[in-house]
Amino acid sequence: MPDTNPLRLGIAGLGTVGVGVVKIVRKHAKLLEARAGRPIEIIAVSARSRDKDRGVDIARYDWEDDPVAMARRDDIDVLVELMGGSDGPAKAAVEAAIASGKHVVTANKALLAHHGQDLAAAAEKAGTVLRFEAAVAGGIPVIKALTEGLAGNEITKVMGVMNGTCNYILTRMEATHQGYNALFEEAHKLGFLEADPQLDVGGIDAGHKLSLLASIAFGTQVNFDAVELEGIEQISLRDIEEAAEMGYRIKLLGVAQMTGRGLEQRMSPCLVPAASPLGQLEGGTNMVVIEGDSVGQIVMRGAGAGEGPTASAVMGDVVDLARGLDISTFGMPASRLVPAKPATAAVPAAYYLRMELEDKPGALAKVAAALGEAGVSIDRMRQHGHQNTVAPVIVVTHRCSRAQIDAAMEGLAKTPVVKGETVAIRIEEV
């Protein structure tokens, strides 16, 4: 018989997402009960400051200063962890909840990217369920699609644009013809950046998400450390404009792929065709592309962050638990997840290179020689303005490996006519 008692929540964290969850539970109490087959009730809440005005009335819920104590309360069934952080109170509260037999719903990608394997194993052992739809791609129900809807597929590839802030900066650079720093400042002023901006612009946050998707897709243990990470700080307005002229846009793109040499996971700026669905993504919108052996390609698009979309994802997990969903965190028991052998950019690609070149006879030939020595052949080359003594040169290579590009960059660094660092951006023909 299905359980018809209320599902009792303890919510740890009343920031953007936590407040969003409280609002949905209140606004849609009847609808949620009809869908879940039982009432969904908030019993207790916890945050740092009890007195902060949060725009919702929390006086009706029990207050806990300590989220760990809340996690252990006998009168809650589910800990909803919305504090954030890979360690500290979030980890402690989730562990306490599991240890005392509670289910957990979290939006915390950092926590899961670092401790997902252990937490999943602990939840399994305790017979509880740990879910994290909101941790990846905001409102898009992609964890559900991958663990459940596409469970009949061997997944061959997962790709995604999953950091709205980076996408905002990159699309605004193109729209406003301003450089990276100006748009970084704009994003900062709008409150789009995490307290530690490296999490966003360094690709770490998106890398966390990719490592979680990869684990589910390939049945491997989460291995965030193996994600090749590259941020967007090096992307200049020139890169964006050169890309546009060639029919491309630059996106911080994550790719996870099982190759003959192992699991490739990379999160890096890429040139993608401007007319492709990924190329057309604007601002904070996320997109995830999943390829499976039976289903072919599935594309999902939606808001990647924000109060409503993220709370929607949290509530999807909560309703699942109310309905009695019993599923392993990463789609199969933690004990069956295998360690993934990391493979670095195993799949070859064409690359876009930008370098500053002294404008004197024979300089281009030296660049070509350095590339040739690394086995990199040139598809197209373009030199700009001769008015200065140093002029930017753009090279598009034929398909080659990342190792060859790295060797070429080393060679270029030793070529005296090349000034400063060469920027290399992968071209992904999605």
C-alpha distances in Å from residue 285, one per residue of 34, 191, 196? 31, 16, 21
274-313 positions binding a second copy, by CB under 8 A: 277, 280, 292-303, 308-309, 311-313
User: Which of 67, 116, 141, 269 is the binder for a second copy (CB under 8 A)?
Assistant: 141
Q: Is 154 in the site for a second copy (CB under 8 A)?
A: yes
Q: Which residue has the tokens 């018809």?
A: 4
Q: Rounded to the nearest whole angstrom, what is the least distance from the CB of residue 292 to a second copy in the complex? A: 6
Is 352 in a helix, a strand, or coil? strand
DSSP secondary structure string, 274-313?
A: TTSTTTT--TTEEEEEEEETTTEEEEEEEE-SSHHHHHHH
Please select the residue that binds ligand NAP; options are 22, 79, 107, 340, rule is CB under 6 A: 107
By CB under 8 A, tell whether 24 contacts a second copy: yes
Task: Give strand ranges (E) for 162-261.
Answer: 228-229, 248-259
Q: How far is the CB of 222 from a second copy (least distance, A)?
A: 17
- Indicate whether 17 belongs to the interface with ligand NAP (CB under 6 A): yes
Residue 52 annotated as catalytic: no
Site string (48-77) toward ligand NAP, x via CB under 6 A: xx--x--------------x----------
| Residue 308 structure tokens | 């409503």
One residue of 179, 219, 262, 273 binding a second copy per CB under 8 A:
219
- Of the candidates 391, 406, 398, 389, which has an alpha carbon nearest to the alpha carbon of residue 354? 391
CA distance 349 to 403: 11
Three-state DSSP state, 167:
helix
| 314 near a second copy, rule: CB under 8 A | yes
Give Cβ neighbours of residue 386 (< 8 Å, ≥ 6 apart): 359
Q: Which of 15, 35, 73, 100 binds a second copy (CB under 8 A)?
A: 35
Distance (Å, whole) CA 174 – CA 327: 43
Stated as kind and residue range, the H or E segment containing 23 is helix 16-27
Contact 281, 287 (CB under 8 A): yes
Segment 267-326, which members bind ligand NAP (CB under 6 A)?
305-306, 310
Q: Using the rule CB under 6 A, is 89 a contact of ligand NAP?
A: yes
Instruction: Establish how many alpha carbons lie within 13 A of residue 164's alpha carbon, considering only the half-sphere containing its beta carbon.
Output: 24
**Is residue 228 helix, strand or coil?**
strand
Return the range that interacts with ligand NAP (CB under 6 A); candidates 131-139, 145-153, 275-283, 359-367: 131-139
Euclidean distance between CA atoms 102 and 105, whole angstroms: 10
Nearer to ligand NAP, 130 or 135 (CB): 135
Any contact of residue 415 with a second copy (CB under 8 A)?
no
Q: Which stretch binds ligand NAP (CB under 6 A): 83-91, 119-127, 170-178, 294-302?
A: 83-91
User: Is the Cβ–Cβ distance between 208 and 113 less than 8 Å?
Assistant: yes
Q: Which of 16, 156, 178, 259 binds ligand NAP (CB under 6 A)?
A: 16
Nearest partner of 169 among 113, 257, 231, 77, judged by Cα? 231
- Find the shortest distance in angstroms from Cβ 242 to ligand NAP: 32
DSSP 333: -
Catalytic residue among 209, 251, 341, 366: 209
Q: How far is the CB of 160 from a second copy (least distance, A)?
A: 14
Q: Which of 108, 167, 257, 397 binds ligand NAP (CB under 6 A)?
A: 108
* Total number of residues that touch ligand NAP (CB under 6 A): 25
- The residues assigned a catalytic role are 209
For a second copy, the binding residues (CB under 8 A) are: 2, 20, 24, 28, 31-32, 34-37, 133, 139-141, 144-145, 147-154, 219, 277, 280, 292-303, 308-309, 311-316, 318-320, 323-328, 331-333, 336
